[in-house]
C-alpha cells in the first residue's frame, strides 16, 4: 500500500511536466506558422507589385511612341491643256544613273470621244511600232540651245508609253525617256506635238 501511495504522486508529477512540455511545443509551432504566413504575404505583395510597375511603364512607352508621318503627294511640275479637252499633267522629270531623264505624268481625255493620241507620234516613219504613243515629244534646253528626242531601242520603238484607247473622261499614266542635258541645266521645255509647250524643272 505504501508503494502505491509513493508511486502515484510521482506519476502525477511526471504527467504535469509532459503536459507543460507539449503545450510549449504547440505554442512554438503556432508562432512559426504565424511568422511564415506573414513572411509569405510580404513576398506576395512584392511579387505582385513588380508586374504592375512594368505594366505602367509599358503603357507610358506606348503613349509616347511617335505616329508615322503621312506620305507626301506627288508634285505637279506643269499642266498642259490641248484641244478637245485633252490635258497633260507632268509630275516629275528625274535624272537617272544611265545618263537619261525620265518624264512622268498623267493624260486625261476630257472630250466626248475615244482618244488615240492623234499626231503625238510626230513624223515617225515606224508607225507600226510607235502608233498610239508620244514618240514625237522632245525636250529643249534653251540655255544650251539643244533639242533632245525620245530615246529608241534597237528596233526603233520609242522608250515611252504606248497608249491604249482612253475613254471619255478617262485617264492614263505616261512616261518618256530622253538623253540627259548637262548637269548645270535645271529647266527644259517639254514639247508634245499638237500641245502647247511647258517648262519643267529637272530633279536628281
Please give the mean pLDDT across all residues of the chain.
Answer: 75
Confidence check: pLDDT of 145 > 70? yes
Low-confidence winner among 101-115, 148-162, 168-182 (lowest mean pLDDT): 148-162
Q: Is the predicted pLDDT of residue 169 greater than 50, yes or no?
A: yes
* pLDDT 10s digits, 73-119: 468 999 999 988 999 999 999 999 989 999 999 999 999 999 999 88
pLDDT for the residue numbered 91: 97
Residue that has been written with the C-alpha cell 510597375 in this structure: 53
Residue 173, pLDDT above cutoff 90: yes
Question: In the structure, what pLDDT confidence band is assigned to residue 123 with cuts at 50, 70 and 90?
Answer: confident
For residue 19, pLDDT beyond 90: no
What is the predicted pLDDT for the residue at 141?
Answer: 96
* Nearest partner of 139 among 79, 184, 58, 202, judged by Cα: 202
DSSP state for residue 85 in the 8-state scheme: G
Share of the chain above pLDDT 70, in %: 61
| pLDDT beyond 90 at 70 | no
CA nearest neighbour of 84 among 59, 65, 111, 122: 111
- pLDDT recorded at residue 128: 54
Instruction: List the one residue out of 77, 93, 95 whose CA is nearest residue 180.
Output: 95
pTM, entire model: 0.62
Residue 113 neighbours by CB under 8 Å, 6+ apart = 84, 168
d(CA 41, CA 162): 80
Q: Work out the average pLDDT over 150-156.
A: 89
**Can you give the pLDDT at residue 29?**
43
Residue 50 sits at φ, ψ, to 5 deg, of -65, -50
Amino acid at each position: 500500500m505504501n508503494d502505491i501511495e509513493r508511486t502515484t504522486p510521482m506519476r502525477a508529477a511526471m504527467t504535469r511536466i509532459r503536459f507543460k512540455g507539449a503545450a510549449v511545443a504547440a505554442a512554438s509551432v503556432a508562432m512559426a506558422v504565424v511568422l511564415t504566413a506573414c513572411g509569405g504575404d510580404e513576398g506576395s505583395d512584392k511579387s505582385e507589385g513588380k508586374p504592375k510597375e512594368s505594366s505602367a511603364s509599358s503603357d507610358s512607352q506606348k503613349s509616347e511612341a511617335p505616329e508615322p508621318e503621312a506620305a507626301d503627294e506627288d508634285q505637279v511640275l506643269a499642266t498642259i491643256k490641248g484641244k478637245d479637252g485633252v490635258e497633260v499633267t507632268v509630275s516629275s522629270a528625274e535624272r537617272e544613273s544611265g545618263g537619261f531623264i525620265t518624264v512622268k505624268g498623267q493624260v486625261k481625255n476630257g472630250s466626248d470621244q475615244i482618244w488615240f493620241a492623234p499626231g503625238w507620234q510626230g513624223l515617225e516613219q515606224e508607225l507600226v511600232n510607235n502608233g498610239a504613243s508620244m514618240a514625237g515629244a522632245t525636250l529643249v534646253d534653251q540655255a544650251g540651245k539643244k533639242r533632245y528626242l525620245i530615246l529608241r531601242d534597237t528596233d526603233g520603238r520609242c522608250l515611252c508609253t504606248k497608249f491604249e484607247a482612253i475613254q471619255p473622261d478617262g485617264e492614263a499614266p505616261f512616261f518618256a525617256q530622253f538623253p540627259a542635258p548637262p548637269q548645270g541645266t535645271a529647266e527644259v521645255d517639254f514639247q508634245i506635238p499638237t500641245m502647247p509647250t511647258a517648262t519643267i524643272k529637272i530633279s536628281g
